[in-house]
Structure 1
């Protein structure tokens, strides 16, 4: 169990350890570990999610994503859930480069997940899910007007979804269908100049299973 706690702390530190405000992020990650540890020890209401998304790039510079993620955490009340998760995002070019062929590339977000629920768990309800963390890009990738650089990105992703219970005997099991928005802040290089902060915006659909 001690190793599990150390692993959880390492995950939370890595997902919030961006280049700025490192001390504050580390303190936040440490507090979150203390909050989640009672649940992982069997003293709270564990809950897990698996989700898949397609996110279309919008705005001046665009990258499309196909995303698969899993989140594990604690439901502290009927209306509030806190967890940590990881995703694998396949990045797809939003434009056709006739002079060069670019294959799909990978981004890996690590995040804290805050989820707020409305309604009776045994009936159709609604969720507001907010992810906050760091997304790791492992290879330079083309955007509409430049390149998404190999770097760590601030990652924020809210999702508004409808929850459909699928098991009368176990209302914890449900399907979620929703709409997601994703924000990435990345060091970005255009075809003409270097910009040290660039926002990438995506919107799309998410479907998931919870238990």
Structure 2
């Protein structure tokens, strides 16, 4: 009887120890490539199509691992379009749901937040400019994590970002004997396929 009690107590201590190792502070450094998945739309007065807004993004998030299944944190980053001078700053809540606490495990991630545009204008050509407004976004993704140390891991995931984007388009045009400014504010979907790799500590 005493042996059974001792054995049960040993398993309980090991389980509590494993759970304790999963809890605590976690930090993530990630690099993401965003490939625009919405179709480029032609502006009715430009005669040119808007280029896809593909981005390279670097983010840092930190938070708390509540158990081997659930992480909650917050982050900030810098996002750079591949063919424009704008700089975007995403600020977000970061959640991760792991299948288990093993060294190699799949997980589901959900990011949601707000993306601010640091530099306002993008020169379309000599007489036309874009400017962007800040908008919210949500980014679900699925990935895998490989933990090579108790608190160190690498991860990779593929996801899809949903975002409403507002663009202000200004064009200098000639009408009759003088130039005038044509202005247009357009809100459209900016959806993107996301590919992310990162380091966890």
User: TM-score with structure 2 length normalisation?
Assistant: 0.68
RMSD: 2.4
Partner of 2:193: 203
Where structure 2 has 5 or more consecutive residues not aligned to the other structure, the ranges are 1-22, 41-51, 172-181
- Number of residue pairs matched by the alignment: 153
Partner of 1:81: 71
Q: Post-superposition shift, 1:195?
A: 4.9
Partner of 2:45: none
Distance 1:153 1:125 in 2: 33
- More strand per residue: 2
Where structure 1 has 5 or more consecutive residues not aligned to the other structure, the ranges are 1-43, 94-102
Partner of 1:175: 154
After superposition, the Cα gap between the structure-2 partners of 1:135 and 1:76, relative to the gap in structure 1 and judged at 3 Å, is: same
Alignment of 1:180-199 (within 5 A): 180-189=159-168, 194-199=184-189
The answer on whether the counterparts of 1:178 and 1:207 sit within 8 Å (CA) in structure 2 is yes
Higher-Rg member (1/2): 2
Partner of 1:111: 92
User: TM-score with structure 1 length normalisation?
Assistant: 0.65
Moved over 6 A (4+): none
After superposition, the Cα gap between the structure-2 partners of 1:142 and 1:81, relative to the gap in structure 1 and judged at 3 Å, is: farther
Give yes or no for the alignment of 1:159 onto 2:149: no
Q: Post-superposition shift, 1:160?
A: 1.2
